[in-house]
Amino acid sequence: MIISVLIGILIVLVVGAICFWAIDKFATDSRLAKLLKLLVVLLCLGAIVQRLMLPDILANAPQLVELGLKAKAGSHRWREN
């Protein structure tokens, strides 16, 4: 489980680095480039946090079902009964 989380984080970092390279290469306005880089950083941080939190959510799934929450089939989102 931990290996898949680390691979997911590594993929996010690689995609973020590619985005940074594309922004440096194609963004002509420096203010636009800074805003785009900030957006990439925030999106990457959000994706990393999501990947770190998902194992905790799945580990607590039986407790969440007892609280009246069920997972939709094929989804990581929770809904009430």
* Domain range summary for the chain, segments of one domain joined by +: 2-80
Cα 77 to the center of its chain, rounded Å: 14
The mean pLDDT of 47-51, rounded to a whole number, is 92
| Predicted confidence (pLDDT) per residue in 16-42, tens digit | 999 999 999 999 999 999 999 999 999
What is the structure's pLDDT at 5?
87
pTM of the entire predicted model = 0.67
Spatial distance between the Cα atoms of 11 and 26, rounded to a whole number of angstroms: 22
- pLDDT bucket at 63, cuts 50 / 70 / 90: low
What is the structure's pLDDT at 8?
92
What percentage of the chain exceeds 70 in pLDDT?
A: 69
